[in-house]
Amino acid sequence: MKPGAAQNQAHGPAPGQAITREMRAWVSAQLAGGHSPDEIHRALVDAGWQAAAASQALGLPVDGATPSPPVAVPVVTPDAGGAMVDTGDKWVEVREHREAPDLWVFSNLLSPAECTALMDAAAPRLERSRTVDTQTGGEELNHDRTSHGMFYTRGETEVVSRIEARIARLLNWPVQNGEGLQVLRYRRGAEYKPHYDYFDPGEPGTAKILQRGGQRVASLIMYLQEPEAGGATVFPDIGLKVRPQRGSAVFFSYPRAHPVSLTLHGGEPVRAGEKWIATKWLREREFT
Ligand code: PD2
Ligand code: ZN
């Protein structure tokens, strides 16, 4: 790490200091630049940050467990007021932001016409949802997930390409590091029980899954159609419920593939109507 690099972001930390967006972005840039978590921790402490705050920013363990080391994650860079984000072809509104985990709710990420286009082209291709089997690296029917779904390939249609370019700008993360968009339809009673989106490093099938671009490091869940009742996305660790609203989205990142990420989340049962979403999962490296 260059001498003085930490000073560039660490101005006058106060006791009980909160983790700022600037600090998180700086930590992520250092990780992306190949600096080790220990090196970054030392630089932050040298610059005057409390050791505990530095640990928190790096996602170091709080429960004595030894999770995998933190990796660089996508970072949102809003305007000076923190209320809007430039995505290249449109400005998107920030509805909510949490620091731990780094989580953002955006309004109007997708237009009604884009939502309709994604649903219409997906409808004939929907199948009962499967999830990756971390025992084998293959796929299995998942009884915790009673939706129907399909995957677009990256850049499959003009609308998919446009949305992927917008997401890349929104999250400062290359298009190639994203999985294909997944569209899910939940009918009445369908749900997605609480889970983590990263692949469990302790499972035998994970090594094979990681060959295609490394870990998942962040999720963007976009709401294409809101149900008449139910279907909120819930984050039990942080007491947050996100109401599915057409065109809006929730983004969250997980620098460690571990529950310390606080990214446990689920889709509550739909009680009336249909809920449709499109999810973009972001990987560490190019997803092949
Ligand atoms: O539809 C949801 O609310 C939901 C909840 C949890 C979607 C996902 N996870 C996902 O696509 O990973
Ligand atoms: Zn999920």
Contacts within 8 Å (CB) and 24+ apart, 5-13: 5/30, 5/43, 6/43, 6/44, 6/46, 6/47, 7/47, 9/47, 10/44, 10/47, 10/48, 10/49, 12/48, 13/47, 13/48, 13/49, 13/50, 13/53
Whole-number Å distance, alpha carbon 285 to ligand 1 midpoint, is: 22
Contacting residues for 106 by C-beta, under 8 A, at least 6 apart: 85, 92, 93, 94, 95, 170, 248, 249, 250, 251
Tell me: pLDDT of 15 over 60.
no
- State how far the Cα of 39 lies from the Cα of 55, in Å rounded to an integer: 12
Note the pLDDT of residue 39.
Answer: 77
Mutation probe of ligand 1 site: the residue of 152, 183, 277, 282 with most atoms within 8 A of C-beta: 277
pLDDT tens track for 101-129: 999 999 999 999 999 999 999 999 999 98
| Block residue for tokens 């917008």 | 166
Q: Mean pLDDT across the stretch 192-220?
A: 95
Q: Which CATH class is domain 84-283?
A: mainly beta
Domain ranges of the chain: 4-58, 84-283
pLDDT value for 126: 97
Structure tokens belonging to residue 228 = 């008449």
User: Residue range 124-148: average pLDDT?
Assistant: 79
Residue nearest to atom 11 of ligand 1 (CA): 279
Distance from the CA of 161 to the center of ligand 1, in angstroms?
A: 22
Q: How confident is the model at residue 3 (pLDDT cuts 50, 70, 90)?
A: very low
Percentage of residues in the chain with pLDDT exceeding 90?
68
Residue nearest to atom 6 of ligand 1 (CA): 266
Determine the number of helices (DSSP H) and then strands (DSSP E) in the chain: 6, 17
Q: Which atom of ligand 1 is nearest to the CA of 242?
A: 3
Distance 105 CA to ligand 2 centre (A): 15
**Res 245: pLDDT:** 98
Q: Indicate if the pLDDT at residue 60 is higher than 70.
A: no
For ligand 1, residues with CB inside 6 Å are: 192, 197, 219, 221, 233, 265-267, 277, 279
State pTM to two decimals: 0.79
Tally of residues, the chain: 288
pLDDT of residue 45: 77
Angle separating helix axes 51-58 and 21-32, nearest 10 degrees: 60
Ligand nearest to the CA of 129: 1
Mean pLDDT of 73-86: 97
Q: What is the mean pLDDT of residues 171-195?
A: 97
> Is pLDDT at 145 greater than 90 in this prediction?
no
Residue-averaged pLDDT of the chain: 87
- Residue 183: phi and psi, rounded to 5, are -105, 135
